[in-house]
Chain A
Amino acid sequence: MQEYSLQELIEPSPSLNAVFVTAMPDCLLFDSYEAQPNKRDLNHVASYVGDLVRANREVLRSLEEYEEDAQITVETKEYQIILKELDERFVAGFLFNRKAPIGMVRLQVDKMLKVLRKHLESYKPEEIPRVVQVLDYLQRYAPDPHASMMRVALKTGLPLQTLQNPQGLNEQQLANIEESVRQILGLKTLHL
């Protein structure tokens, strides 16, 4: 499915630790580059990218400063982390050393974004049914993940096997699943 690899596309730089592309809205790691492979669990990192991006949008909206082209920069003791929405399908993340000059970092990010956009433009991600996304979201955030599917089964009356293969459910059943997930997570609405 992928015709390229970030490991081949990204030009190494002494201050660049990693680049990771997250597929939205499922927050699944699509591809990654690491200067030192397997140093960190980027799958795990990617699973929270959606939250950060969404929260950033809401903050900007509440400040009346929302713009689609905004990017997120987080500075920690060790790293500068930059997240940028490429389009509605992908978010790119860059992990630089904290001490790298910010001007040089921005320049490198711009350069890499061009490369990424070019290579991702023809890619058509597989459509994941919303119910699968909802249940995946539940598994990720439920307070007792080992029991979360059983709780949905009890709340909705749908057998566990059906929840594991939820294709073919009717509208009402899908709405019931979503409502039960919303209740378990204590959310008014589910923003996936």
Chain B
Amino acid sequence: MVGTDLLCFERTLREENMSFKSLIRYRPESNFYSFAGIPVLYHCHHFNLFLDQTIQDALGIEEGILLQKRAAHIASYRFLSKVVEEVGVQTPIERLQLASKLFSYMGHGKLHFQANQDGGVVRGDFLHYGYTWKEKYGQVVSRSEPTDAFGGGFAAAAVEVAFGLPYDSLSVEETSCVAQGQGSCEFQLQRQVPREALPPMLTVEESERAIQTPHIESEDEGRVQSMALKLKDFFLSLESDERGLLQGFGVFVVMHLAEYYNRISYEGFYKIVDEKPFVIDMMTELLRESGHVCGFHTFGGILLSPEWEGLFGSHHGDPKEILLGGLAIARALGIGHCGLSSWDEGKKMVMQASGSYESVFHAQVYPQTSGGMCFFYQGLAGALVHLSCSVPWKDEPKFDQKLYYSLFQDPKRNGWKVKETRCLSHGDKFCEISAVRE
């Protein structure tokens, strides 16, 4: 597929008069981000790896990777089309440069395109998924399957958008991956007859009009929102390093497409409901766990960081202070407008949210459910009660695997039971999660 007529784009990116930041909007009332009108949010590598792993465990590795590539392809095609439209770049080479720059800007690593409308090769360096998998697990286990389904879907979409092709005109295969022990990642793109049209999706504005939710007031609302806005400014000021990665608070962070997370979670979930309903509880538990592991590592790391101290002063590990800080972080990351509804110290916590990035998607795409569907949010609630009640803050703990296992080896999680009692997906006006210590 790679011929002499291939365009080579290994050149230094020109300083173009575009600013990605000007395309990012943060809605203080919903605490959601959009990038060129497409919902995005920040997430950490702990969450990303665990979520991808859970999908592959549930569906099987091959089918899981297929679902992830498709979700990445759809979400990235929609996203890149909008960015290209907003920025107004016309030529394929400019569009590919834009895609490459965008990928790094969001903390996903580096993509080098050697491809045209017929396909080609895309090399990936320091890709968020592969690189962080190697960092986190590479010393413990080996892996025979590639990890960068998102990078692959993004690469295929980038070439399609660059050359004005319809969605799904290119197939993509990751043929080399650092997680498998190779030096870099590589994707092979091949031209194909599109098998499907791009599934429709509401824009942020349209979905806000379609799903109207009441404004939730947290305990100490003014303080929580003020912290959230300061943190949001801080997150937006972060710049990826020379590897194209965003590293801070002891984790790797990415700005990610909410549609990717939601498609892999819910399409995976409903496939299991249809085909293997007997494992749905286990899948749900592990989807929650991806939120729990993120809440613990990322939120814990932020709360203990010098940046936090610089912005808000040091805290003393007061449980309510930790909870409110955690909710401010959630708002700043773009999880949604969540607040502390009630807190009976060490016994019960109730959190409410006007909507999470999960429930807003689920409510517009899927029929009403019989229970809560905000899996990340449920896991986060569990992590927050543990951060507030189980972590020895005065000892300045290190939020590493060792501390995590020492706290959560017990599957009963120190008696805390978390339940989503209301959810937009269920037809409720807002989402509500309670954590009760039994």
A151 to B50, CA, bound (A): 11
Mark contacts of B109-144 with chain A using CB atoms, 8 A cut-off: 1 yes-contact digit, 0 otherwise: 000000000000000000000000000110011111
A62 CB, min distance to chain B CBs, angstroms: 19
B279 and A147 contacting across the interface, CB-CB below 8 Å: no
Which one of B137, B283, B289, B405 lies within 8 Å of A145 (CB-CB)? B405
Mark contacts of B409-420 with chain A using CB atoms, 8 A cut-off: 1 yes-contact digit, 0 otherwise: 101000000000
A63 CB, min distance to chain B CBs, angstroms: 23
Which one of B141, B278, B279, B408 lies within 8 Å of A143 (CB-CB)? B141
Which one of B143, B286, B409 lies within 8 Å of A154 (CB-CB)? B286
- Answer whether residue A187 sits at the interface, using C-beta atoms and an 8 A cutoff: yes
Q: What residues of A have a CB within 8 angstroms of the CB of B137 in the complex?
A: 143
Mark contacts of A172-192 with chain B using CB atoms, 8 A cut-off: 1 yes-contact digit, 0 otherwise: 000000000001111110000
A166 to B420, CA, bound (A): 32
- Answer whether residue A116 sits at the interface, using C-beta atoms and an 8 A cutoff: no
Q: List CB contacts (< 8 Å) of A141-159 with chain B.
A: 141-147, 150-151, 153-155, 157
Q: Given that A154-B282, A157-B278, A183-B61 are known contacts, is A143 also in contact with B289, CB under 8 Å in the complex? A: no
Q: What residues of B have a CB within 8 angstroms of the CB of A147 in the complex?
A: 286, 289
Q: What residues of A have a CB within 8 angstroms of the CB of B282 in the complex?
A: 150, 153-154, 160
Q: List CB contacts (< 8 Å) of A88-105 with chain B.
A: none
Q: Given that A150-B286, A154-B57, A186-B143 are known contacts, is A145 also in contact with B409, CB under 8 Å in the complex? A: yes
B142 and A154 contacting across the interface, CB-CB below 8 Å: no
A155 and B409 contacting across the interface, CB-CB below 8 Å: no
Q: List CB contacts (< 8 Å) of B298-324 with chain A.
A: none
Q: What residues of A have a CB within 8 angstroms of the CB of B136 in the complex?
A: 143
Mark contacts of B251-281 with chain A using CB atoms, 8 A cut-off: 1 yes-contact digit, 0 otherwise: 0000000000000000000000000101100
A154 and B141 contacting across the interface, CB-CB below 8 Å: no
B144 and A186 contacting across the interface, CB-CB below 8 Å: yes
A141 and B405 contacting across the interface, CB-CB below 8 Å: no
A61 CB, min distance to chain B CBs, angstroms: 21
Which one of B50, B144, B279, B286 lies within 8 Å of A157 (CB-CB)? B279
A150 and B285 contacting across the interface, CB-CB below 8 Å: yes
B383 CB, min distance to chain A CBs, angstroms: 13
Which residue on B lies nearest to A160, using beta carbons? B282
Which residue on A lies nearest to B58, using beta carbons? A154
B309 CB, min distance to chain A CBs, angstroms: 30
B144 and A151 contacting across the interface, CB-CB below 8 Å: no
Which residue on A lies nearest to B53, using beta carbons? A151
A155 CB, min distance to chain B CBs, angstroms: 5
A183 to B145, CA, bound (A): 10
- Answer whether residue B54 sits at the interface, using C-beta atoms and an 8 A cutoff: yes
A108 CB, min distance to chain B CBs, angstroms: 37
A187 to B289, CA, bound (A): 24
Which one of A141, A146, A151, A160 lies within 8 Å of B57 (CB-CB)? A151
Which one of A143, A154, A183, A184 lies within 8 Å of B283 (CB-CB)? A154
Which one of B142, B405, B409, B411 lies within 8 Å of A187 (CB-CB)? B142
Can you list 24 pairs linking A and B with CB atoms under 8 Å apart?
Answer: A141-B141, A143-B137, A143-B140, A143-B141, A144-B50, A145-B405, A146-B404, A146-B405, A146-B411, A147-B286, A150-B282, A150-B285, A153-B282, A154-B58, A154-B279, A154-B283, A154-B286, A157-B276, A157-B278, A160-B282, A183-B61, A184-B141, A185-B141, A186-B141
Known: A146-B405, A146-B409. 8 other contacts (CB 8 A): A150-B282, A150-B285, A151-B286, A153-B282, A154-B54, A154-B283, A154-B286, A185-B141
B-binding residues in A (CB < 8 A): 141-147, 150-151, 153-155, 157, 160, 183-188
Q: 7 smallest A-B Cβ distances: which pairs?
A: A186-B142, A186-B141, A154-B282, A143-B140, A143-B137, A154-B57, A153-B282
